[in-house]
Amino acid sequence: MAKLSKRIVDQAEAGEKDYFIWDDELPGFGLRVFKSGKRSYLVQYRAKGRTRRFTIGTHGIWTPDTARVQARVLLGRIAQGDNPAEERELDHKAITVKELCERYLEDAKNGLILGKKRRPKKASTIYTDEGRIRRHIIPLLGTRRVKDLTSADIIRFMRDVASGKTKADQKTKKRGRSIVRGGIGTGTRTVGMLGAVLTYARENGMIETNPAHGIRKPAYEKRTRRLSEDEYRLLGKLLREAAQDDQLAKAAEIARTIALTGCRRGEIINLIWPEVDADNSCLRLTDSKEGASVRPIGLPVIDLLTARRPEHAAGPVFGGTIEGKPLVGFPKHWHKMLEDTPLAGITPHVLRHSYASMANDLGFTESTVAALLGHAQGTVTSRYIHTVDTALIMAADAVAGYINGLLDGVQFKRSSYAIDRGSRQAAIDRLFAQAMQTAQPAEPLAA
């Protein structure tokens, strides 16, 4: 035992095996001399019934005096119950953002991550989540340790995504491409995804607080594009032309069905015949963004679907080239139908938004429109008494009839259209009001 000084440390020679020189002034502080000649300062202590050693640093970088100061700090923490050796071990094993995301996706695919209404996340949602993780989160934060992330890191990440730092144009399949552009909307949505992953980490004890919580996200412009009546007429003309092309005919029918129902693109592409309830004027979707959903449909839709219904209807309504599978390639067909026209650049979702806007223009209430679209926040659903179902079917018929006329090139005067349907509109309003006063949960309409 001796007080460690620079002279003693410099004179320490390598032996056949490692050995220690302990400081007689500060118990627990010492020097380890390796057989290779390397010398390191350390503290030795007992914790949880075990002898533990914590290396301060290498001689040359540390001097005996600076190492002794650090040793006093460490021994003071140890006296208060800390265990620096264990903390360093855990720190070295700290999970990275990439590892966390992999665990999150694995649990999501096994149904252990809950989404809306406390249901397991849908496969389509997981697919979107995985895209944001692979294209944005892992490239920018994948190697960072989760425990080290700060709110400033999250804000910087959001700005990097928004500015296009992760933009890419990659070939995915034999004929597919993945184009990532970034933007404010992408940055905001991806930070929301990252926040969900970090909440998962907090709930599993990996971190104490979520650094993404409370981050102020920039508002981004919501898509408010809708078709005017003239644009509906142009769309109808383009769809009729596409119907003459064998390659585009089925895509044209899909587009027309979306326009007349306000359904999401995937809901119509993946529609199967058992979900078409023509007798009760509705689509009984077994799966949608909001789960199982009943959508009232108007007579134009029933006519369109009935005309193409086969004798033994079982599979997809809009089947593709593979037996029993829906049509693939609709986005490409959609682009081809509209390219080099004033409608080039609009998405199929514009048809859904336009349907809602048209319903509003025709005087239907917000809750009626929400129910027609199958929104989760809609106050009216198929669980309620049949008079509400009847009112919604009448509303769907009115909206689909108007849009169908526009697609066929009719020049409506909306005031006269409303007068012609005045009695029906009044009946809808009365049924709706009565039903909401006396509504009781009941079984949906019989299939």
Per DSSP, helices labelled H in 165-280 are: 184-203, 229-242, 249-261, 265-269
What is the predicted pLDDT for the residue at 101?
Answer: 96
What is the predicted pLDDT for the residue at 447?
Answer: 35
SS3 of residue 277 by DSSP: strand
Rounded Cα distance between 382 and 285, Å, is 12
What is the predicted pLDDT for the residue at 143?
Answer: 94
Rounded Cα distance between 87 and 94, Å, is 10
Cα distances (angstroms) measured from residue 211 to each of 93, 94, 152, 433: 20, 16, 8, 47
Q: Is 336 exposed, middle or buried (0-12, 13-18, 19+ CB in 10 A)?
A: middle
CA angle (100 as vertex; 99, 101 as ends), nearest 5: 90
> Do 411 and 434 meet the contact criterion of CB atoms below 8 Å apart?
no
What is the predicted pLDDT for the residue at 27?
Answer: 93
Rounded Cα distance between 338 and 350, Å, is 13
Walk across the sheet containing 29-33 and list its strands. Answer: 19-22, 29-33, 39-47, 50-58
What is the predicted pLDDT for the residue at 139?
Answer: 95
**pLDDT per residue over 309-326, tens digit each?**
888 878 899 998 888 889
What is the predicted pLDDT for the residue at 212?
Answer: 95
What is the predicted pLDDT for the residue at 376?
Answer: 60
Domains defined along the chain, listed by start: 6-92 (3.30.160.390), 97-203 (1.10.150.130), 229-438 (1.10.443)
Tokens matching residue 185:
């909307």
Rounded Cα distance between 324 and 279, Å, is 24
Nearest residue to 129 via CA among 200, 203, 177: 200
**pLDDT digits (tens), the chain, 447 positions:** 578 999 999 999 988 999 999 999 999 999 999 999 999 999 999 998 899 999 999 999 999 999 999 999 999 999 999 999 888 877 767 889 999 999 999 999 999 898 777 788 888 889 999 999 999 999 999 999 999 999 999 999 999 999 999 988 767 666 666 677 788 889 999 999 999 999 999 999 889 999 999 988 887 656 678 999 999 999 999 999 999 999 999 999 999 999 999 999 999 999 999 999 998 899 999 888 777 888 999 999 999 999 988 888 788 999 988 888 899 899 999 999 999 999 998 999 999 999 999 999 998 888 889 989 988 654 444 444 344 467 888 899 999 999 999 999 988 765 445 434 444 455 555 544 555 454 444 444 443
pTM over 0.75: no
Task: Please give the mean pLDDT across all residues of the chain.
Answer: 86
What is the predicted pLDDT for the residue at 234?
Answer: 97
